[in-house]
Amino acid sequence: MKKIILLGAPGSGKGTLAERITAKYGIPQISTGDILRQNIADGTELGKKAKAYMDKGELVPDALILDLIAGRLAQPDANDGYMLDGFPRTIAQAEALGGNLAEGGSGIDFVVYLNTPKDELIKRISGRRLCSACSKSYNVNNNEFAPSSEGVCDACGGGLIQRPDDTEAVAENRIDVYNEQTLPLVEYYRNAGLLIELDGMGPVYDKVDAMSRLIEKV
Ligand code: ADP
Ligand code: ZN
């Protein structure tokens, strides 16, 4: 049973790391951003409420997020552990998680904090492209992750699109919101003795290795 939180700014690489760890250990990645985007695509009430905040790069109100995450942690696949990607994002959310969220939140093993400088965050976010058909993620600002032909998915031939909140202006706002509302969680979890800091600039395999050692220890 492993319960892990991934903490880091937008563009710090939480999602990429979570995908690799899921592939290696089968621990489910629970991304509040992905769940919200799915709700928008499905046209749910939650999706309608969340979209306006997300398009501006603001946080979705805690009450909506806490409902969503309590429901997700109650799913059977979360019983054997999980990696939270994008939650908690405020002290109030962290306190709700620590207060159990109806059992699902108790006993976090560790918090991995990806520390990445701001100019790198903007470069990564503004270069991110997603396949409109299979959701595979690319980066036009990084040769390692660039598609082999511009605008086309290597995996399925689908067209590549930019997320509405990945434009440079919205990305700037997301980083400001992160610094104000989410960064205090670094001290919060450091004080709880749970924080493991990793250099967000290093290669992905280094971070996968570091995280693998932590997972195999608990
Ligand atoms: P990133 O980490 O790259 O900003 P996410 O996909 O995690 O991207 O989040 C996209 C948007 O979804 C956020 O800007 C915010 O509006 C909303 N969101 C996701 N998770 C939360 C959360 N825990 N609390 C509030 N809003 C959230
Ligand atoms: Zn594709």
The structure's pTM equals: 0.91
Q: Which ligand is nearest to the CA of 161?
A: 2
Entry field: residues in the chain: 218
When the candidates are 3.30.1360.30, 3.40.630.10, 1.10.3720.10, 3.40.50.300, the CATH number that belongs to 2-116+195-217 is: 3.40.50.300
Reading the chain (218 residues) residue by residue, the pLDDT tens digits are 789 999 999 999 999 999 999 999 999 999 999 999 999 999 999 999 999 999 999 999 999 999 999 999 999 999 889 999 999 999 999 999 987 654 555 689 999 999 999 999 999 999 999 999 998 999 999 998 999 999 999 999 999 999 999 999 999 999 999 999 999 999 999 999 999 999 999 889 999 999 999 999 87
Ligand 2 midpoint to CA 158 (Å) = 5
* Atom 18 of ligand 1, nearest CA residue: 33
Ligand 1 midpoint to CA 88 (Å) = 10
Q: What pLDDT is stored for residue 100 in this prediction?
A: 67
Q: Which ligand is nearest to the CA of 153?
A: 2
Which mutation among 56, 89, 97 tests ligand 1's pocket best, with the greatest number of atoms within 8 A of CB?
89
* Atom 19 of ligand 1, nearest CA residue: 33
* Atom 3 of ligand 1, nearest CA residue: 10
| Catalytically active residues, by annotation | 14, 89, 128, 163, 174
| Residue extents of the structural domains in the chain | 2-116+195-217
Q: What pLDDT is stored for residue 99 in this prediction?
A: 79
Which mutation among 60, 68, 113, 118 tests ligand 1's pocket best, with the greatest number of atoms within 8 A of CB?
60
- Cβ pair 5, 58 in contact under 8 A: no
Residues within 5 Å of ion ligand 2, judged at the Cβ atom: 131, 133-134, 136, 153, 155-156, 158
- Calpha distance 118→158 (Å, rounded): 31
Atom of ligand 1 at shortest range from CA of 86: 7
* Atom 9 of ligand 1, nearest CA residue: 33
